[in-house]
């Protein structure tokens, strides 16, 4: 360029030398930093949600009834409770006690180890009185339907639908209480 000293021309057209250092980024505003942190937290929460789903996929999510969990009496019993005075209620209470003592089974009235199903316990405690047995089974079916809906076909089908005797034993106890309250 005519009229400029040679030194100035070199400075204007020269490329800055690479010194190996990176230019410092411009400082971010508070809003920009909060936006970046929010985005990072969203990613972390999404990853945690996926990990939670993977880690808990095998867990059964069937609702738990408090009566299934609490197995000790809430109030201490100092004296044994008398058996109900009505015949069906007494039969159902004895059947409940038999099932707790002998064990529970499904698919048969009594299995090879002596465990009983709902109807098997009622039949053993009825002592051959088929009328009393039928009345007791009817009360149990009413309690089951009241609790689980009208689509339950029979006492044996209800018994066989369970994996443990916890609920069938409880149904015998509830049926005994209902029969006693109704004077049956």
Torsions phi, psi for 169 (to 5 deg): -65, -45
Low-confidence ranges of the chain (pLDDT < 70): 1-25, 64, 66-84
Question: How many Cβ atoms from other residues are within 10 Å of residue 43's Cβ?
Answer: 10
Position 63 scores a pLDDT of: 72
CB 96 within 8 A of CB 176: yes
d(CA 115, CA 97): 12
Per residue in 64-82, pLDDT (tens digit) is: 676 666 665 556 655 555 5
d(CA 161, CA 154): 11
d(CA 103, CA 68): 17
CB 88 within 8 A of CB 136: yes
d(CA 163, CA 102): 17
Per residue in 80-111, pLDDT (tens digit) is: 555 567 889 999 999 999 999 899 898 888 88
Domain boundaries, the chain: 31-60, 84-182
User: What dihedral angle (degrees, nearest 10) is formed by the CA atoms of 166, 67, 85, 79?
Assistant: 100
């Amino acid at each position: 360029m005519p009229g400029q000293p040679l030194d100035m021309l070199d400075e204007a057209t020269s490329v800055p030398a690479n010194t190996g250092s990176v230019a410092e980024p411009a400082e971010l505003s508070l809003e920009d930093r909060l936006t970046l942190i929010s985005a990072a937290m969203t990613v972390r929460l999404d990853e945690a949600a996926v990990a939670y789903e993977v880690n808990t996929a095998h867990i059964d999510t069937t609702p738990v009834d408090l009566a299934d969990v609490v197995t000790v009496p809430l109030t201490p019993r100092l004296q044994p409770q008398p058996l109900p005075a009505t015949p069906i209620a007494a039969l159902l209470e004895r059947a409940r006690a038999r099932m707790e003592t002998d064990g529970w089974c499904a698919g048969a009235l009594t299995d090879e180890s002596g465990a009983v199903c709902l109807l098997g316990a009622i039949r053993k405690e009825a002592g051959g009185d088929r009328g009393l047995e039928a009345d007791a089974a009817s009360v149990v079916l009413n309690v089951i339907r009241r609790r689980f809906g009208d689509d339950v076909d029979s006492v044996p089908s209800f018994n066989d639908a369970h994996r443990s005797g916890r609920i069938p034993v409880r149904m015998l106890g509830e049926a005994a209480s209902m029969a006693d309250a109704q004077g049956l």
